[in-house]
Structure 1
Amino acid sequence: MADTVIHDESGSRFVLMRGDQQIGEAGYETREDGGIVFTHTEVDQELQERGLGSTLVGSALDQLRTSTDVRIGATCPFVRRYLEEHPEYGDLTNR
Protein backbone atom coordinates (compact mmCIF):
# COMPACT_ATOMS: atom_id res chain seq x y z
CA MET A 1 0.00 0.00 0.00
CA ALA A 2 1.51 3.30 -1.10
CA ASP A 3 1.68 6.33 1.17
CA THR A 4 0.22 9.55 -0.20
CA VAL A 5 0.40 13.17 0.92
CA ILE A 6 -2.75 15.26 0.66
CA HIS A 7 -2.94 19.04 1.02
CA ASP A 8 -5.79 19.82 3.42
CA GLU A 9 -5.97 23.55 2.75
CA SER A 10 -8.97 24.13 5.02
CA GLY A 11 -7.05 22.50 7.88
CA SER A 12 -3.78 24.31 7.03
CA ARG A 13 -1.85 21.06 6.87
CA PHE A 14 -0.44 18.34 4.70
CA VAL A 15 -1.58 14.86 5.69
CA LEU A 16 0.36 11.64 5.18
CA MET A 17 -2.07 8.82 4.44
CA ARG A 18 -1.56 5.06 4.30
CA GLY A 19 -4.70 3.79 2.66
CA ASP A 20 -7.52 5.45 4.58
CA GLN A 21 -5.47 5.91 7.76
CA GLN A 22 -3.75 9.20 8.64
CA ILE A 23 -0.22 8.45 9.82
CA GLY A 24 1.28 11.95 9.88
CA GLU A 25 0.78 15.63 9.32
CA ALA A 26 2.71 18.83 8.74
CA GLY A 27 0.80 21.87 9.93
CA TYR A 28 1.36 25.43 8.79
CA GLU A 29 0.16 28.98 9.24
CA THR A 30 -0.40 31.44 6.45
CA ARG A 31 1.46 34.73 6.89
CA GLU A 32 -0.07 38.12 6.12
CA ASP A 33 1.97 38.30 2.92
CA GLY A 34 0.48 34.96 1.77
CA GLY A 35 3.57 32.91 2.59
CA ILE A 36 3.47 29.67 4.53
CA VAL A 37 5.28 28.89 7.79
CA PHE A 38 5.45 25.24 8.83
CA THR A 39 4.77 25.06 12.57
CA HIS A 40 4.82 21.35 13.37
CA THR A 41 5.35 17.92 11.90
CA GLU A 42 4.32 14.65 13.47
CA VAL A 43 4.25 10.99 12.47
CA ASP A 44 2.45 8.17 14.29
CA GLN A 45 4.75 7.12 17.14
CA GLU A 46 4.73 3.47 16.11
CA LEU A 47 6.02 4.43 12.65
CA GLN A 48 8.68 7.00 13.55
CA GLU A 49 12.30 6.66 12.46
CA ARG A 50 11.36 5.17 9.09
CA GLY A 51 11.80 8.25 6.94
CA LEU A 52 8.09 9.07 6.85
CA GLY A 53 8.61 12.60 8.16
CA SER A 54 10.99 13.28 5.28
CA THR A 55 8.52 11.76 2.82
CA LEU A 56 5.78 14.01 4.19
CA VAL A 57 7.80 17.22 4.15
CA GLY A 58 9.42 16.54 0.79
CA SER A 59 6.07 15.84 -0.84
CA ALA A 60 4.51 18.94 0.76
CA LEU A 61 7.33 21.12 -0.56
CA ASP A 62 7.09 19.55 -4.02
CA GLN A 63 3.35 20.23 -4.11
CA LEU A 64 3.85 23.85 -3.04
CA ARG A 65 6.58 24.32 -5.63
CA THR A 66 4.39 23.17 -8.50
CA SER A 67 1.03 24.61 -7.45
CA THR A 68 1.87 27.98 -5.85
CA ASP A 69 4.37 30.79 -5.83
CA VAL A 70 4.29 31.31 -2.05
CA ARG A 71 7.40 31.76 0.06
CA ILE A 72 8.08 28.99 2.59
CA GLY A 73 9.39 29.36 6.13
CA ALA A 74 9.52 27.10 9.17
CA THR A 75 9.40 27.38 12.93
CA CYS A 76 9.13 23.59 13.11
CA PRO A 77 12.61 22.21 13.90
CA PHE A 78 12.08 19.16 11.67
CA VAL A 79 11.16 21.23 8.61
CA ARG A 80 13.98 23.73 9.26
CA ARG A 81 16.50 20.87 9.40
CA TYR A 82 14.99 19.30 6.27
CA LEU A 83 15.37 22.59 4.39
CA GLU A 84 18.99 22.93 5.57
CA GLU A 85 19.79 19.37 4.44
CA HIS A 86 18.02 19.77 1.08
CA PRO A 87 19.31 22.96 -0.56
CA GLU A 88 17.37 22.08 -3.71
CA TYR A 89 14.35 23.64 -1.95
CA GLY A 90 16.12 26.97 -1.43
CA ASP A 91 14.05 28.55 -4.19
CA LEU A 92 10.96 28.12 -1.97
CA THR A 93 12.49 30.10 0.89
CA ASN A 94 13.73 32.90 -1.38
CA ARG A 95 10.63 33.63 -3.47
Structure 2
Amino acid sequence: MLFMVIERFRRQDAKAVYRRFREKGRMTDEGLVFVSSWVTADLGRCFQLMECDDIALLQRWVAEWSDLAEFEIVPVVSGAATAAVLDG
Protein backbone atom coordinates (compact mmCIF):
# COMPACT_ATOMS: atom_id res chain seq x y z
CA MET A 1 0.00 0.00 0.00
CA LEU A 2 1.21 3.52 -0.79
CA PHE A 3 1.13 6.40 1.69
CA MET A 4 1.73 10.09 1.10
CA VAL A 5 3.45 11.29 4.25
CA ILE A 6 3.30 15.03 4.79
CA GLU A 7 5.92 16.22 7.26
CA ARG A 8 5.74 19.67 8.77
CA PHE A 9 9.13 20.54 10.22
CA ARG A 10 8.84 21.68 13.83
CA ARG A 11 10.01 25.27 14.29
CA GLN A 12 10.62 25.36 10.49
CA ASP A 13 13.89 23.57 11.27
CA ALA A 14 14.63 21.47 8.18
CA LYS A 15 18.33 21.51 9.08
CA ALA A 16 17.69 19.38 12.17
CA VAL A 17 15.86 16.77 10.09
CA TYR A 18 18.59 16.58 7.46
CA ARG A 19 21.28 16.48 10.16
CA ARG A 20 19.67 13.39 11.73
CA PHE A 21 19.21 11.86 8.28
CA ARG A 22 22.95 12.25 7.57
CA GLU A 23 23.83 10.77 10.96
CA LYS A 24 21.34 7.88 11.18
CA GLY A 25 19.82 7.42 7.73
CA ARG A 26 16.10 7.12 7.10
CA MET A 27 15.65 4.71 10.06
CA THR A 28 13.09 2.50 8.32
CA ASP A 29 12.50 -1.11 9.24
CA GLU A 30 12.60 -3.82 6.60
CA GLY A 31 9.28 -3.79 4.77
CA LEU A 32 8.87 0.00 4.81
CA VAL A 33 10.07 1.32 1.47
CA PHE A 34 10.92 4.93 0.66
CA VAL A 35 9.74 5.72 -2.90
CA SER A 36 10.45 9.44 -3.37
CA SER A 37 10.24 12.84 -1.68
CA TRP A 38 9.74 16.52 -2.41
CA VAL A 39 10.39 19.54 -0.18
CA THR A 40 8.53 22.84 -0.41
CA ALA A 41 10.47 25.92 -1.51
CA ASP A 42 10.11 27.51 1.94
CA LEU A 43 11.63 24.36 3.59
CA GLY A 44 8.56 24.03 5.79
CA ARG A 45 7.22 20.69 4.58
CA CYS A 46 8.33 17.47 2.99
CA PHE A 47 6.11 15.12 1.00
CA GLN A 48 7.31 11.52 1.05
CA LEU A 49 5.80 8.63 -0.81
CA MET A 50 6.26 5.47 1.26
CA GLU A 51 5.18 1.89 0.61
CA CYS A 52 4.40 -0.88 3.09
CA ASP A 53 1.89 -3.60 3.84
CA ASP A 54 2.12 -3.31 7.63
CA ILE A 55 0.95 0.05 9.00
CA ALA A 56 2.82 -0.64 12.25
CA LEU A 57 6.09 -0.18 10.34
CA LEU A 58 4.97 3.28 9.27
CA GLN A 59 3.89 4.13 12.82
CA ARG A 60 7.26 3.02 14.22
CA TRP A 61 9.08 5.18 11.65
CA VAL A 62 6.92 8.22 12.47
CA ALA A 63 7.67 7.77 16.17
CA GLU A 64 11.42 7.93 15.44
CA TRP A 65 11.02 11.35 13.80
CA SER A 66 8.11 12.90 15.74
CA ASP A 67 10.37 15.12 17.84
CA LEU A 68 11.45 16.95 14.66
CA ALA A 69 8.30 16.86 12.53
CA GLU A 70 4.52 16.55 12.69
CA PHE A 71 3.05 13.96 10.34
CA GLU A 72 -0.06 13.61 8.24
CA ILE A 73 -0.40 10.21 6.57
CA VAL A 74 -2.71 9.74 3.60
CA PRO A 75 -3.23 6.36 1.92
CA VAL A 76 -3.01 6.90 -1.85
CA VAL A 77 -3.53 5.00 -5.09
CA SER A 78 -1.96 5.85 -8.43
CA GLY A 79 -4.00 7.73 -10.97
CA ALA A 80 -3.65 4.82 -13.40
CA ALA A 81 -5.04 2.34 -10.87
CA THR A 82 -7.91 4.69 -10.07
CA ALA A 83 -8.71 5.12 -13.77
CA ALA A 84 -8.76 1.35 -14.24
CA VAL A 85 -11.25 0.93 -11.39
CA LEU A 86 -13.47 3.74 -12.65
CA ASP A 87 -13.37 2.48 -16.23
CA GLY A 88 -14.20 -1.08 -15.17
Q: Identify the TM-score tier after normalising by the shorter chain.
A: 0.3 to 0.5
Higher relative contact order (CA 8 A, sep 6+): 2
Which TM-score applies when normalising by structure 2? 0.37
Q: Point out the structure with max Rg over C-alpha.
A: 2
